Chain A
Amino acid sequence: MAFWRKTLQTNAGLLIILLLLILLPHIIGLLTGSDPFATRGAAVSWQGTIIEIYILAIFTISYNLLFGFSGVISFGHALFFGMGGYILGLALEYTELTPDMGIIVGILGAVVICGVLGFLIGLASLRLRGVYFTVFTLAIAESFYIFWGRLPLTKGEDGFTLTTLPTWLNPIADRITFYYIVMVIFVLTFLFIRRLMFSPTGAVLLAIRENEERAKTIGYNTLYFKLMAFTVAAMIAALAGVLQVVFNKKVGPELLSVGYTIDPLLMTIIGGAGTFTGPVIGATTLHLLDRTLRDRVITFTPDFALDIGKSWMLISGFIFIIVVIVFPYGIVGTWNRWRAKRRPPITVSSGTQAPIAEKQSG
């Protein structure tokens, strides 16, 4: 009985949030007094911002699966994000497929190809220890970045724009539909990762993060589990890249740049690595900050003004450094620790050593 009530309580929270996300465009419409179904206006502009947050959150969730849950530090995650975008772009613009077929082939192709790519890269590199692996991922991502930037077919550094999207998937003409599509993908990703981490596989990943040698000694093939996490993260990142490209209608090598590796890394750390809601909160916080500050110009003296839009990367870099030093558990992690401290301590009889398991919910 208590179990069911508890389950209901947990899910009640999720259901309320889900309802809120569904109603969000309409609430904003009411608050700003503009039509959420229109093609322009405050409500539609806000939908755009929230869509970007969903996309970044999906991307960050995939990074958190590696960095937060498995202890795998990749500096090349942008590779899958960008490759996903390029594959969709190629399917739509460089094949004879109809827009409808193009989008289906493009999305499936992006996810599958990035899955295979992630699998192969992981297979080659995951047995490398610590920083060697990190270097490897950086080098691979950088290679692809240079490759796309020099490829005349896809217009090199300039990239190309999407011209043929199906009518039902048009973020400009029909933004609210796109909002719901992205929202559903976001919710499914979130639930999938939660499900995964509560499964036995998730438990092994956490064990690998805490102490890979010990996990090996117990008898787990840690390479297999890390490979699975890496492949899944690559596929989700590809999906995020696809959504980004559809939303911005622009494909270019910048999608694979270091900036798109920094973003999910920073958002994971700010939100709280190794928590479920951390990546979402990190993505929301940072993107809202970006949005509200982007068009401001702070004038210190007549000669010296700081254009925040232009220096956003710099500002986020400083945030990054400060967070790493003073705030390493992120928003959710710090909140969990604070709550754990307030709870009455559990007395453990002396002599038995009970390692306190990191709390994973959040």
Chain B
Amino acid sequence: MNKTFLVIGAVAVGLFLFGLSNANGDLGSFGITIMSGLFQAMLLFLVASGLSIVFGLMDVLNFAQGSFFMIGAYVAYAVHHSPQLIAAIPNADIRFIIALLSAVFVGGVLGVFFERALLRPLYARPIFQIVMTFGVALVIGELIKVVWTPTPYSWTAMFTARSGFFTLFEQQFSTYRLFVIGAGFLLIIGIGLLLQRTRIGIIIRAGVEDSQMVEALGINVRAVFTLVFTLGCAVAALGGAVAAPFLGASTGLANQFLLSAIAIVVLGGLGSYGGTAIASILVGVSVAVIQDWSASPGVNAPVWASLTPMILLVLILLIRPSGLFGKEN
């Protein structure tokens, strides 16, 4: 365990030095990189946490998890930019909160349907569950193209937090990003406490080890499955909604976030909640640092930034498929 933390520490220091040298020692631009990395990390955590807990508990790797992130982005975009809503509620901040809630609601409703109608009949056929989630990802992507066309949307209707800035080291930092990072850390702690302190948390942790035994203790594990899966989908949709003011809404979001989230889940160790949280931060910040590096005039190879999550995933799988906090199997 100490070795694991040593590795994490070494990677963190390495990232720090690499990022700083990239910024030529300019604390302001380095700060911006770190901040955008942490912002990404929080978004990734919202996708990865559901992915990890669902996989641990139900043995289903949900290939549609990234699609729920994408749904969240589209729903939030549509609600926030809806002319009717703009007319009814001129206050953009309130509208944004409604947009967030709508995304969570849509993600949750679709999640319940997904688990109950499409996964539940397949618990006896685990291979087909994987295939099913893959198919659902396809359908969601295509449905979005039908409803919203394949053209990407960028966020235009600003709100106070999104347009706010504060200055540090002669650089302007986005208040919205700071807010998301703060809220993200609170959420990480909140879910952690839920898992550690509440009865449902104990049931989930026990179910990750042996869901059959949990059922034999008189607990309706299937109902817990539905609950956890739904929450996972809703949280992923929340991630998309939170991201939309920066990233807009586009069909590419699903795969981009799915693969990064899988990389995180594998890196953190499947079923390990703390591992997922730490890995989210590591991956988010590394991607931001590499993005900066690959876009710098000396390198100018943005393809590396797009490839980073994939390369990372492949490397982790080759070197340590059980991840940082996973148990050797």
Contacts and interface: CB of A to CB of B under 8 A. Distances in A.
The answer to whether any beta carbons of A and B sit under 8 Å apart in the complex is: yes
A269 B127 CA distance: 12
Interface in A115-146: 124-125, 128-129, 131-132, 134-136, 138-140, 142-143, 146
Which of B61, B302, B314 has its CB near the most chain A CB atoms (within 10 A)? Answer: B314
B303 A313 contact: no
A262 B134 contact: yes
B146 A314 contact: yes
Interface in A36-73: 71, 73
Interface in B104-148: 118, 121-122, 125, 127-128, 130-132, 134-136, 138-139, 142-143, 145-146
Contacts of B311: 143
A320 B303 contact: no
B138 A320 contact: yes
Given A143-B310, A317-B142, A324-B122, A135 B262 contact: yes
A299 to B, nearest CB: 15
Contacts of B135: 262, 266, 317, 320-321, 324
A142 B259 contact: yes
Given A135-B61, A318-B139, A324 B131 contact: yes
B310 A139 contact: yes
A135 B130 CA distance: 11
Which of A146, A313, A317, A324 has its CB near the most chain B CB atoms (within 10 A)? Answer: A324
A321 B122 contact: no
A139 B118 contact: no
Interface in B35-76: 55, 61, 63
B121 A325 contact: yes
A314 B143 CA distance: 7
B317 A132 contact: yes
Interface in B311-329: 311, 313-314, 317-318, 321, 329
A94 interface: no
A320 to B, nearest CB: 4
B132 A321 contact: yes
B262 to A, nearest CB: 5
A276 B318 CA distance: 34
B102 to A, nearest CB: 23
A311 B314 contact: no
Contact of A125 (B121, B125, B317): B317
Interface of A is mostly: helix
B76 to A, nearest CB: 23
A86 interface: no
A143 B307 CA distance: 6
Given A138-B259, A143-B311, A324-B122, A132 B321 contact: yes
A258 interface: yes
Interface in A280-339: 310-311, 313-314, 317-318, 320-321, 324-325, 328
B174 interface: no
A224 interface: no
B266 A313 contact: no
B317 A136 contact: yes
Given A131-B61, A311-B146, A321-B139, A146 B303 contact: yes
B306 interface: yes
Interface string B254-273: 01000100110010000000
B266 A150 contact: no
B122 A143 contact: no
Contacts of B134: 75, 262, 265
Nearest to B125: A328
Contacts of A139: 259, 262-263, 310, 313-314, 317
A350 B128 CA distance: 34
6 contacts: A125-B318, A131-B61, A139-B259, A147-B303, A150-B303, A314-B145
Interface of A: 71, 73, 75, 124-125, 128-129, 131-132, 134-136, 138-140, 142-143, 146-147, 150, 258, 262, 265-266, 269, 310-311, 313-314, 317-318, 320-321, 324-325, 328
Given A314-B146, A317-B138, 16 more contacts: A71-B127, A132-B317, A139-B310, A140-B314, A143-B307, A143-B310, A146-B307, A147-B307, A262-B135, A266-B135, A310-B146, A313-B142, A314-B145, A317-B135, A321-B132, A325-B132
- For the complex of A and B, 5 pairs with smallest distance between CB atoms: A314-B142, A317-B139, A143-B310, A320-B135, A150-B303
